[in-house]
Amino acid sequence: MTNDSSGSETPATPRWKFADFQQISAVPCPCGQARRAFAGVPEFPGTLHITEISEDAQRHYHRRLTETYVILECGPDAAMELDGEQVPVRPLQSFVIPPGVRHRAIGRMKVLIVVLPEFDPADEWFD
C-alpha cells in the first residue's frame, strides 16, 4: 500500500508479474499445444511456455531463439530428437536448444520451455 496525496492508502501496482497457466488458452504449435506467458514483460527478456507434446510433433528449428526444455511428465519411451540424435528422457531432465538445432519431442509429454529472447512464431523453420 502507498499513500496518495490525500494521505489515504491506495493499492500499489506490484513490480512482480504473475501467470496462471490454467487461465491461459492453449495455441497450436509444431510440438502440440502451448500455453505461453510473459510476452511483452520488459523485466523478462523471454517467454515461458507449458507445452503438451503430441504424438505427431514436427521437427523444426529456430534461427534466433534459444529454448530450454524441462521435462515435467513423459512416458517411459519418450525421447528428444536433437540434430538427428534420439536422447531418452525422464521427468526433471532439461535441455538447452540453441538456434539452428533441429529438434522435436518424441512421444507424449508435458514440458516447461523457457524461450530467449521472447518467443516469435515467425522464427519456426522446417526442412
The DSSP string of 7-41 is: S-EEPPPPSS----GGGSPPEEETTEEEEEE-TT-
127/9 Cα distance (integer angstroms): 58
What pLDDT, in 10s, does the model give residues 34-78? 999 999 999 999 999 999 999 899 999 999 999 999 999 999 999
The fold of the 25-123 domain, in CATH, is Jelly Rolls (2.60.120)
- The pLDDT-based confidence of 18 (bands split at 50, 70, 90) is very high
The amino acid at residue 113 is I
Mean pLDDT of the chain: 93
Q: Is the pLDDT of residue 7 over 70?
A: no
Radius of gyration of the chain measured on its C-alpha atoms = 18
Q: Whole-model pTM above 0.95?
A: no
DSSP element (H, E) containing 80: strand 79-82
How confident is the model at residue 1, as a pLDDT? 42
Q: 63: which DSSP letter?
A: S
Q: Is the pLDDT of residue 3 over 80?
A: no
How confident is the model at residue 75, as a pLDDT? 95
Q: What is the largest CA-CA distance in the chain?
A: 66
27/12 Cα distance (integer angstroms): 33
